[in-house]
Amino acid sequence: MSITPLMPVYPRCDTRPVEGDGVYLIGENGKRYLDFASGIAVNLLGHSHDGLIKAIQEQAAKLMHVSNLYGSPQGEALAQRLVDLTFADTVFFTNSGAESVECAIKTARRYHHVGGNPHKKDIITFNNAFHGRTMATISAANSPKMHDGFEPLLPGFKYCEFNDADAAAALIDDNTAGFLVEPVQGEGGIRPATQEFMTRLEGLAAENDLMLVLDEVQCGMGRTGTIFAHEQYGIEPDIVASAKGIGGGFPLGACLATEKAARGMVIGTHGSTYGGNPLAMAAGEAVLDAITAPGFLDHVTAMGERLRTSLEQMIGNHPDKFESVRGMGLMLGVKMKPEFESRAFVNWMREGVGLLAVAAGDNVMRVLPPLVIEEEHIQEFVQKLSKAADEFEG
């Protein structure tokens, strides 16, 4: 037998973390890595955060799981906090990003179904998007690589150029249910939507009675300096998918919706065995405690500006390798020159200088530190990145 016990779907690297310590990971070999990847925008409180550990330990000892057939004081409490903090009136808890997007798609379709428009099923999505790996979420993304061998895809998605509102308007017809878009594309290479694009999508949705569905799985939960990135665009979505940072490392996701958007999501229409169980709710509460603490989001904005400025200075010294910095808050991307592949650079940096970042589409290196970093970590990151750029030969 040559297949590995772990299904070999990931190109796993030689770095094998076994312990976390704040913004550092520690490998099997004892080596320390500065973690500016955060498990891909997940560990927003870093590793081994006291509040998160305590919340999970205490809840695990008290009650880990009960069925959604029973009343959920834990779920009600966290949903109420999210409702109070955001555009939403109601929340469905999931265990992952893809499940949150699935719930968002189902909610958008049901909205029209119960509104007497059962033909309105099509969702307009955008090139270079990433929405997850389930059948519906790969179908939602225009990526031949993710589709290959998994056809037939789920029908009902129309692909459009990102940041092109005219093209999106031209795709609307009588069967359109809504838009699904990442305010800041993550996997696609840290591409923020333009203000004009988001404002126009909001307008088109309102004029045509379409659902504006945002995928904030990566850009939400404080990552860009506000609870959700869409707040900075001054727009009001109908439905938002959240996950990644929301559990700080515990598998948790959420689909948030307005009362109007969720009008079709009545008893029996959706469910999840684990979704919103007391242990997950305890993790979610601890994360929300941290990110809603006075000054936390201001800290994210300040550190984001600091990191961006430092990266811009650093790339000025390496114009042969780096092109530009983009993104919002602590969701930043460094675009590399075509001769230098971001994936190869990120791979080399890990063992070369002990730095963790994540490659993304469009030859971008993603910089997604825990939101609790301090200036000293930014200095260490930029110093080591500069050293890596000096030593990396491509």
Ligand X SMILES: *Cc1c(COP(=O)(O)O)cnc(C)c1O
Helices 375-391 and 342-353, packing angle to 10 deg: 110
Q: Give the Cα separation of 75 and 77 in Å (integer).
A: 5
Spatial distance between the Cα atoms of 377 and 96, rounded to a whole number of angstroms: 29
Out of 101, 190, 286, 288, the only residue in the binding site for ligand X (CB under 6 A) is 101
How far are the Cα atoms of 153, 171, 180, 229, 332 from residue 174, in angstroms, in the given order?
22, 10, 17, 30, 38
92 binds ligand X (CB under 6 A): no
Binding residue for ligand X (CB under 6 A) from 130, 162, 228, 345? 130
Say if CB 234 and CB 259 are below 8 A apart: no
Comparison of 100 and 310: residue with beta carbon closer to ligand X: 100
Find how far residue 361's CA is from the centre of its chain. 15
Binding region for ligand X (CB under 6 A) out of 68-76, 106-114, 124-132, 274-282: 124-132
Interface with ligand X includes 131 (CB under 6 A)? Answer: yes
Cα distances from 165 to residues 157, 160, 162, 241, in angstroms, run 17, 9, 8, 21
Please compute, for residue 253, the number of CA atoms within 13 A of its CA located in the half-sphere on the CB side. Answer: 24
**DSSP-assigned states of every residue in 224-238:** TSSSSGGGGGT---S
- Residue facing ligand X at closest CB distance: 97
Instruction: Tell me: does residue 389 bind ligand X (CB under 6 A).
Output: no
Q: Which stretch binds ligand X (CB under 6 A): 114-122, 181-189, 232-240, 274-282?
A: 181-189
Q: Which of residues 199-258 bind ligand X (CB under 6 A)?
A: 215, 217-218, 243-244
Asked if 97 touches ligand X (CB under 6 A), the answer is yes
Residue 90's DSSP bridge partners are 257
Residue 331 binds ligand X, judged by CB under 6 A: no
102 binds ligand X (CB under 6 A): no
Among 140, 139, 106, 132, which Cα is nearest to 121's? 106
Q: Which amino acid is at 387?
A: K
The set of residues, in sequence order, having a beta carbon less than 8 Å from that of 268 and lying 6+ positions away, is: none
CB of 188 to ligand X, least distance (A): 9
Q: What is the largest CA-CA distance in the chain?
A: 63
Q: Does 142 bind ligand X (CB under 6 A)?
A: no
# binding residues, ligand X (CB under 6 A): 15
Does 132 contact ligand X by CB under 6 A?
yes
CB of 213 to ligand X, least distance (A): 12
The window from 97-105, 109-117, 164-172, 265-273 that contacts ligand X (CB under 6 A) reads: 97-105
Closer to ligand X by CB, 113 or 244: give it.
244
Q: Which listed residue (96, 125, 142, 176) binds ligand X by CB under 6 A?
A: 96
- Which CB atom, from 213 or from 314, has the smaller least distance to ligand X? 213
Nearer to ligand X, 128 or 363 (CB): 128
Residue placing its CB nearer to ligand X in the complex, 233 or 322: 233
State the CB neighbour count (10 A cutoff) for residue 31: 14
Instruction: Kindly state whether residue 98 participates in binding ligand X, applying the rule CB under 6 A.
Output: yes
Residue 234 tokens, joined = 């001054």
Q: Give the footprint of ligand X on this chain (CB under 6 A).
A: 96-98, 101, 130-132, 182, 186-187, 215, 217-218, 243-244
